Structure 1
Amino acid sequence: MDTQLTLGPVLFNWTADAWRDFYWRVADEAPVDVVHVGEIVCSKRLPFIAEHLPEALERLTAAGKRVVVSSPILVTTERERQAVRDLLTIGDVTIEANDTGALALLAGRPHAVGPFVNVYNEGTLAWLAGRGAGSVTLPGELPADAIRPLAAAARTLGVAVEVQVFGRLPLAISARCYHARAQGLHKDGCRFVCGEDPDGLSVDTLDGEPFLTVNGTQTLSRRYLSLAGRLDELRTMGVTRFRLSPHSLDMVEVARLFRAVLDGTLAAAEADARLADRIGPAGIADGFFLGKPGAAWVGAAA
């Protein structure tokens, strides 16, 4: 299978104009092969971007990108269940399942499986492949020792394995909205305060140490994952797709850095240094991949 650079869905509550302009620029300038679109964190945000979705699909496709529509992570109401069913009516586009309800609806139809469906062993991978999954994005907390056998099994099954290689890692999802609670608001009257933090709201420990990031109902890592120095290792394992998670920094530049490392025209250590400079105080991490605490940073493999 060919190596592909993919762009995951926007996780944050950006303004409709910012969301539209982001995908327009991705279509025109980003050297990525696959682009995910859709609101997956909070269904209340969807109306803000809904009017731009059809044109985004058309523009990205016209630019030669393969478009995947991602389903929500946590579906709790009938309205949200209907929204997932509506995704299946979109013609000629791959759907990415991010919860088991979507998996049930997609059974027997070619689809992708997102990182929010726990795939920790070869048996689960085989079961998903048998139901129509053509690609599976592994959970971000898996170390190399767990990725390796899954990638080997995927080759036998004819399934593409994808690993997130950039961006804050999703750690948990809840029915409660942390963003609203932080502002003394209820989830049903949140005033969309998550929109004030385009890359999530930083959370400190009681001792004042930077710890995590919240994004509405979602918990993310504080540090930004960077596996630029592990791309060759991942390819050797059999991983064929590498996911970048969008943030408000220049994602076209990020995509170009990863593409250059994949193409062998830029040293991984240089890519990591440039990414760390762009990200600033939040810092970069690769701990989970190495079986260490997730916030740890080791850097490019020798």
Structure 2
Amino acid sequence: MKLSLGPLQYFWPRATTLAFYRSVADWPVDIVYLGETVCSKRRELGFRDWLALAEELAEAGKEVVLSTLALVEAESELGVVHRQVGNDRFMIEANDLSAVQLCRERGVPFVGGPSLNVYNHRALAMLVEDGLRRWVPGTEQGRVLLQEMREAMAADEKPMPELEMLAWGRLPLAWSARCFTARALDLPKDQCGFRCIEHPEGMPLSTREGEPFLTINGIQVQGSEVIDMAPLRDELAACGVGVLRISPQAEGTAGVVGRFRQALDATELPQPLGPPSGYWDGLPGKAALAMAVATGAA
């Protein structure tokens, strides 16, 4: 089983982002995803900057994948996707169907990102024919669905792509044309002032009763809890998952990577540091969190 560092979900200053990824060269991760996936207005780093980081990490022995936007709304954004797909060296994580189409037209193999909304084996088989080589199932897709997909693909004699699952980080739940961060600060989206850079792990959103509920991250909504799937290593492997994804956080990501590497190399499973994804077992998030609290994981 391999480890990957997923694309950065948050908006960090340029110097912080560059320093973070240059330190990644020495981390025990196999795959690194680079690029802006949430909001095209986040331009601290441009395409050339990401490409330069990709070259540095590739020289350090990492498999580098360039990630595209999850929500493409303008010709300028589509132009960036064109440049990414046409880079002629690094694989693409296609996070919407426009990126899939461009990869198919150029004959470029790609990773299917978690925002592609693939829910049945026929859609997955079609994407494999288009060039999909690795698939990151969406947040809400758990063990039962993966097992059904694998069985259906085998029954139709279709090749199953490599599977990658988010194993650490806040669950990305939804994207919108509206900016939740700007709205929370009573700002128009087009005059947001890039205020999400002030929230390196998003803005916490609570219920009226003061309970943690969601995390606001620009046009993206995430869960409030950081999930930990490391203790489910064997279950994930039994479902065909070959890559565990760690989502970058502002603090402690290097330690998380080290812990996951130990978890993959050890015979014993690690103690949980947070709740698992409730979607994995088809449980409501509150139920998964309650179970984690009961076992001392949260």
User: Against the structure 1 CA distance between its residues 17 and 121, is the aligned structure 2 distance closer, same or farther, given a 3 Å change threshold?
Assistant: same
Structure 2 residue matching 1:207: 3-state secondary structure? coil
User: Against the structure 1 CA distance between its residues 153 and 242, is the aligned structure 2 distance closer, same or farther, given a 3 Å change threshold?
Assistant: farther
User: Against the structure 1 CA distance between its residues 266 and 189, is the aligned structure 2 distance closer, same or farther, given a 3 Å change threshold?
Assistant: farther
- Cα distance in 2, alignment partners of residues 287 and 169 from structure 1: 10
Match of 1:291 in 2: 282
- Cα distance in 1, alignment partners of residues 110 and 194 from structure 2: 31
Match of 1:141 in 2: 140
- Of 47-56 and 63-72, more deviation after overlay is shown by 47-56
Match of 1:60 in 2: 57
User: Against the structure 1 CA distance between its residues 51 and 87, is the aligned structure 2 distance closer, same or farther, given a 3 Å change threshold?
Assistant: closer
How far the C-alpha of 1:46 sits from its partner, in A, is: 2.7
Structure 2 residue matching 1:14: 3-state secondary structure? coil
Match of 1:109 in 2: 108
**Superposition pairs for residues 12-51 of structure 1, below 5 Å?**
12-28=10-26, 30-50=27-47
CA contact (8 A) 1:152 1:238 kept: no
Letter in 2 for 1:286: S
Letter in 2 for 1:9: P
How far the C-alpha of 1:177 sits from its partner, in A, is: 0.5
- Cα distance in 2, alignment partners of residues 48 and 185 from structure 1: 24
How far the C-alpha of 1:265 sits from its partner, in A, is: 5.4
Match of 1:163 in 2: 165
Match of 1:281 in 2: none
**Superposition pairs for residues 152-301 of structure 1, below 5 Å?**
152=151, 157-264=159-266, 267-269=269-271, 272-273=272-273, 276=274, 284-295=275-286, 296-297=288-289, 298=291
CA contact (8 A) 1:31 1:252 kept: no
How far the C-alpha of 1:51 sits from its partner, in A, is: 5.3
- Cα distance in 2, alignment partners of residues 17 and 171 from structure 1: 28
Match of 1:71 in 2: 68
CA contact (8 A) 2:13 2:44 kept: no
**1:103-134 CA-partner distances (Å, limit 9, x unpaired):** 11111321111001011221111111011100
**1:197-233 CA-partner distances (Å, limit 9, x unpaired):** 1111001122322100010000000001111111111
**1:138-191 CA-partner distances (Å, limit 9, x unpaired):** 011112111223345667514101111110000000000110111111111000
Match of 1:83 in 2: 80
- Of 148-157 and 244-253, more deviation after overlay is shown by 148-157
User: Against the structure 1 CA distance between its residues 58 and 285, is the aligned structure 2 distance closer, same or farther, given a 3 Å change threshold?
Assistant: same
User: Against the structure 1 CA distance between its residues 259 and 153, is the aligned structure 2 distance closer, same or farther, given a 3 Å change threshold?
Assistant: farther
Cα-Cα RMSD = 1.8
How far the C-alpha of 1:54 sits from its partner, in A, is: 2.8
For structure 2, which runs of at least 5 residues remain unmatched after alignment? none
User: Against the structure 1 CA distance between its residues 19 and 152, is the aligned structure 2 distance closer, same or farther, given a 3 Å change threshold?
Assistant: farther
User: Against the structure 1 CA distance between its residues 241 and 230, is the aligned structure 2 distance closer, same or farther, given a 3 Å change threshold?
Assistant: same
CA contact (8 A) 1:223 1:285 kept: no
Structure 1 residue matching 2:241: 3-state secondary structure? coil
Letter in 2 for 1:23: Y
- Cα distance in 1, alignment partners of residues 235 and 268 from structure 2: 16
For structure 1, which runs of at least 5 residues remain unmatched after alignment? 277-283
TM-score w.r.t. structure 2 length?
Answer: 0.91
CA contact (8 A) 1:154 1:161 kept: no
How far the C-alpha of 1:53 sits from its partner, in A, is: 1.7
Letter in 2 for 1:117: L
- Of 51-60 and 219-228, more deviation after overlay is shown by 51-60
